[in-house]
Structure 1
């Protein structure tokens, strides 16, 4: 009876606030609930609000509620459902001019894509978000959106193994958001991944802890800090201490139902028990890890298939639009002819023209596919020639990238042949380590060369050389 009364009270409580709170206030409640890990309330508030906004024709409220629900679903690894709610939000945002909400929409799409391993597509959405934020008012919500962009681009660059871009995002993060604990958690993670400067890891995690308490940060921030402390003690081979921190982070992730973090923690605990030679406990967590991992991977495969299918649908729409244009042009020409006989004859010719145009389009698609294959082959050849330090590398590069090479040499005639070869390596998205192997120098020497090149080209010191080269 008590439970029924509690649910009854909560239902009317949610109804009351969803009907009396503006979208901004609803957003504030959602943030508070998320930080506490109370995702049941996040869903209840926003689903009730969504219904209310639909009934009262409030597209801004509908878009916001859809985005909030999508955010919660992606946290639970329900990416396919999350993307559906984001599609609904996009429809509402077409009716209003709200750059801040458009930025958040792009961020949530990017978040789903990143979880699914579609890092480049995620970065495209994050770049769109930056464009929207340039025209949005300077509010706390929009600052949070920009911070989101920094953190996720940073993470995506790590997965894409782009060290220069990683360092650029790190500098921007520390400069623009010096009081955000997640910035320092991520810096600590960088040192941990390289297994170096463990004293610095301790320093940055301590700084993150102080800021998390000071800012009353989300539960996830505290879980992330505890996990990294566990990783630190694992590197030190202090497994009992590491286990304490993993056991501290696990209830947090279970409370907020962060699937990816739960899986990772199960795996860490399994490995730690294994190091402690506690085989029964290790097997217990291995079983938990395997079951949850299989479940989430199955959902991710469906979500990726859905995303790919949406891309295909968009391409099909573009083709159909082209066919429609051809048909309309032909139809207008037909209408200008007099007489039934002439019209019929023209219609027959129109069908022939349409069929011819379809063949042309099909041929163009085939040619494009062949061109893509040639480009892929050329890029593979270039990569091998670079690795082999072939004397014909730069000649082949000029053939594959004629416009880029012409523009580079005409705008910067002072560049030496060594400079041009180095820039060619950067254009091929080679890492510092790979460039070092091609040129027989250390990674440090490669970084120094990049620094000197930027000075020679009069580029800002904080600009990523790889980004500049790709945009030239």
Structure 2
């Protein structure tokens, strides 16, 4: 009952906010304020509602943030397929462009990187981060997030030297970010609390390197700094590395305390594959050392079931990505093949022209050219014009006017057309279909249909008349 009431109040707030036409920034703040670690289906529905309003208001950046937040929630809940779907959706809707707010672009690439990392595609994961690495200078928030993510990939690849360096950089940049905060940080609470994560990660890195004194310093700093932060993600990270540290130094009571906190969080809130498996592996190790075989066996069975489920899901997603890659490769092969055919055709045409000049035209004294030669030239010119049209070449209209003299002048007598409109009319005169024009001009079928409709209005072409025949009749 309480959840339904809260949902109703939230929808009422959105409707009221929409009626007041708030800024895009205010909607972004609402999305940021939704707690990531505890988010689930209810929060996804709320974000969906905000996306709908942002779409209607033309707030593209806010719409992109919404899809990426949903993708990250599904990633956190170990649903990689849906996470990929929402990052793909943001891309397909043309929300990630050079004009998009950089923060949205940054999240797009870093979320994609995390997803590839989970699938073991570490080269692709690093490539995603490299795409935005050069654009985050002088912004400590983006810099620490980027370094932190690089460190995780390097660590998985076994390059501990690079991982340690990246974690150190992330730690320093996160500290720098916290110092720069203004007194009023309401809109940055999630970002601020998140910036404490590198402390524990750095402690964990020193622990892996066997430098337990350094590990102790950072683990204790993490426990101290995050003690009063009510955010499950921070609690998980700090407790996980604290649990590992105490397990290694033989303080099993403290290790059990922190690892059970992590277990509770991954079961109810933080279902990420890597996190879940890591906690269970540590619990198996802990109970093995404590001599509690039943508990160790219980978690061993749970780990096997979890790995089996994750492998099946990851295989399915990898198959989807492999199919998509294969499709893209086939398209590129076809394009290369088509280009080869075009080049071969051009070469043949050039040879024919050379032969014509040397063997047919040589020795002719009369200026009159036989009709069959003119016909051949017209065919050659037609092929050139058609090829330029298909390539959307800027020279198309110039060559078309050579092929069809007077076409542009006749249109300008009827209406003061722009060059782009005459170009579109030329495509219709050449009898290209709506689908062909859309493909050659890199626009949608709907856009071409709209242009046709507007053209009919300007030229007073009746709806029942064939627009292609109309243009043919124009030149008679």
Instruction: Please classify the TM superposition score into its range, dividing by the shorter chain length.
Output: 0.5 to 0.7
Matching of residue 159 in structure 1 with residue 159 in structure 2: no
Q: Per-residue deviation at 1:117? A: 1.6
Please report how far the alpha carbon of residue 303 of structure 1 lies from its aligned counterpart in structure 2 after TM superposition.
1.7
Distance in 2 (CA, whole Å) between partners of 1:280 and 1:205 is: 30
For the aligned residue pairs, the C-alpha RMSD in angstroms reads 3.3
1:277 and 2:280 aligned? no
Residue-by-residue CA offset, 1:389-448 (whole Å, 9 max, x unaligned): xxxxxxxxxxxxxxxxxxxxxxxxxxxxxxxxxxxxxxxxxxxxxxxxxxxxxxxxxxxx
Aligned match of 1:257? 270
Cα separation, partners in 2 of 1:226 and 1:313, compared to 1, 3 Å: same
Deviation sequence 1:70-115 (CA, Å, 0-9, x none):
1111111222221221122222223734333222211111111112
> Residues 16 and 313 of structure 1: is their aligned pair in 2 closer, same or farther, counting only changes over 3 Å?
farther
Q: In the alignment, is the contact (CA less than 8 A) between 2:113 and 2:124 conserved in 1?
A: yes
In structure 1, stretches of 5+ residues that fail to align are 348-472
Distance 2:333 2:62 in 1: 35
Q: Please state how far the C-alpha of 1:149 moved relative to its aligned partner.
A: 1.0
Does the alignment pair 1:133 with 2:148? Answer: no
Q: Is the 8 A contact 1:53 1:61 kept in 2?
A: yes
Q: Is the 8 A contact 2:245 2:255 kept in 1?
A: yes
Quote how far apart the aligned CAs of 1:338 are.
Answer: 5.8
Is 1:98 the counterpart of 2:101? The answer is yes
Q: Is the 8 A contact 2:68 2:90 kept in 1?
A: yes
CA apart distance, 1:198: 2.3
Assess if the C-alpha contact under 8 Å between 1:33 and 1:41 holds in 2: no
Q: Which runs of 5+ in 2 are unaligned?
A: 179-194, 354-372, 384-476
The two structures have a TM-score, normalised by structure 1, of 0.63
Which residue of structure 1 lines up, in the alignment, with residue 241 of structure 2?
228
Tell me, yes or no, if the aligned pair for 2:223 and 2:238 is still in contact at 8 Å: yes
For the residues of structure 2 that align with 1:266 and 1:258, how far apart are their CA atoms? 12
Partner of 2:170 in structure 1?
173
Instruction: Report whether the alignment pairs 1:55 with 2:56.
Output: yes
The whole-number CA distance in structure 1 between the counterparts of 2:171 and 2:2 is 50
Say whether 1:192 aligns with 2:207. yes
Deviation at 1:295, TM superposition (A): 1.5
In the TM superposition, 1:313-352 aligns within 5 A as 313-328=327-342, 339=375
- Counterparts of 1:34-73 in structure 2 under 5 Å? 34-35=35-36, 37-73=38-74
Cα–Cα, structure 1 residues 30 and 147, in superposed 2: closer, same or farther, change >3 Å? farther
Residue 160 of structure 1: how far off its partner (Å): 1.5
State how far apart, in whole Å, the 2-side matches of 1:289 and 1:14 are: 43
1:355 aligned residue: none
Residue 287 of structure 1 pairs with residue 301 of structure 2? yes
Does residue 150 of the first structure (1) align with residue 150 of the second (2)? no
Q: TM-score scaled by structure 2?
A: 0.62
Q: For 1:231-246, what aligned pairs fall within 5 Å after superposition?
A: 231-246=244-259
When residues 42 and 8 of structure 1 are mapped into structure 2, their CA distance, relative to the original with a 3 A threshold, is closer
Equivalent pair of 2:68/2:87 in contact (CA under 8 Å): yes
Larger Rg belongs to: 2
Query: Aligned pair in 2 of structure 1 residues 211, 237: CA closer, same or farther (>3 Å)?
Result: closer
Contact 1:153 1:169 in 2 (8 A): yes
**Does the C-alpha gap of structure 1 residues 144 and 21 become closer, same or farther in structure 2, counting only changes over 3 Å?**
farther
Q: 1:317-342 deviations in whole A, cap 9, x for unaligned? A: 32233234345556678699964799
CA-to-partner distance for each residue in 1:52-87, whole Å, 9 max, x for gaps? Answer: 233344322222211111111111122222122112
Q: Deviations over 1:268-309 (max 9, x none)?
A: 223322332333333332333222222122111222222233
- Determine if the alignment matches structure 1 residue 78 to structure 2 residue 103: no
- Alpha-carbon contact 1:184-1:207 (below 8 Å) kept: yes
> Is the 8 Å Cα contact of residues 84 and 112 (structure 2) preserved in structure 1?
yes
Distance in 2, Cα, partners of 1:127 & 1:18: 38
Q: Which structure carries more relative contact order (alpha carbon 8 Å, separation 6+)?
A: 1
Q: Secondary structure at the match of 2:99?
A: coil
2-structure distance, mates of 1:199, 1:71:
35
Secondary structure (helix, strand or coil) at the match of 1:161 reads coil
Higher helix share: 1
Query: Whole-Å Cα distance in 1 between the matches of residues 145 and 119 of structure 2?
Result: 17
Whether the 8 Å CA contact 1:15–1:48 is kept in 2: the answer is no
The answer to whether the 8 Å contact 1:59/1:96 transfers is no
**Residues of 2 paired with 1:254 and 1:33: CA distance?**
20
Query: 1:128 Cα shift?
Result: 0.8
Q: Give the deviation of 1:122 after TM superposition.
A: 0.8
Distance in 2 between residues matched to 1:46 and 1:7, nearest whole Å: 12
Matched with 1:119 is 122
CA, structure 1 residues 8+217, in 2 after alignment: closer, same or farther (shift >3 Å)? closer
